[in-house]
Amino acid sequence: MSVRLQLENGEVREYPTWYPGDDDDSEAFYTDCGMTWNSQPYLDDGCNHIDCAIAAAERPSKDAVKLTQILSAVGMFWLVAGIVGLWISDTLRNVGFALFAIYVLGRTYFKSAYLEGTSKELKEFKEHGTVNKIKAEQI
C-alpha cells in the first residue's frame, strides 16, 4: 500500500512510503514504521502512513546520492588543485572552480526542486488537508 490522495478535482496522486537503505551494497528497502523488503517493492507495497511517505520523499535515491558524491569528489579535486596551484594554468583552475560551482548549484536545485516538491505536498496535506491548495482526502 502507498499513500494515495484524491484531490477535489478527481486527480489521484500516489506516494511511496518506502526508501532504499543507506548501505550501497544492500538492496533492502524500509519504511519509517519498520517494514523491510529485500528487493525494491512495488508502489502498492508498504504502509499508508503519511509520515512514512514524507520520510521517503525526503530521502534521495541511491543514484542521486552517487551522482552528487562523484560531482563532489571531482569538484573538490579541482578546487584543491586550483588553490594549491598544482597546475599553473588559469584555465584549469577556472575549470575546477566552475565544476565545483556546478556541483553546488546542482545539489541545491535537486534538493529544492525534487525532494522539497514532493514532501511539500505531503506536509501541506498533513497540516491543512490540501495539495497545492486543492482540497484532498486520503483514499
- Distances, alpha carbon 117 to alpha carbons 5, 43, 54, 93, 122, in Å: 15, 19, 11, 35, 9
Segment (H or E) for 90: helix 90-109
Crossing angle of helices 62-84 and 90-109, in 10° steps, is 150
pLDDT score for 50: 94
Q: What is the pLDDT of residues 29-71, one digit of tens each?
A: 889 999 999 888 887 788 889 999 988 888 766 666 677 677 7
**d(Cα 58, Cα 114) in Å, to the nearest integer?**
9
User: Do residues 97 and 75 make contact, with C-beta atoms less than 8 angstroms apart?
Assistant: no
Q: What is the pLDDT of residues 76-116, one digit of tens each?
A: 776 776 676 655 666 766 777 777 777 777 766 665 555 56
Q: Single out the residue of 105, 109, 87 nearest to residue 96, CA to CA.
A: 87
**d(Cα 48, Cα 17) in Å, to the nearest integer?**
7
pLDDT score for 58: 80
Domain interval for residue 25:
3-138
pLDDT score for 24: 60
* Total number of domains in the chain: 1
User: Is the pLDDT assigned to residue 4 strictly greater than 70?
Assistant: yes
Cell of 23: 548501505
**32 φ/ψ angles, rounded to the nearest 5 degrees:** -65, -20
Confidence band for 12, pLDDT divided at 50, 70 and 90:
very high
User: Do residues 3 and 49 make contact, with C-beta atoms less than 8 angstroms apart?
Assistant: yes
- Distances, alpha carbon 139 to alpha carbons 6, 83, 121, in Å: 7, 56, 16
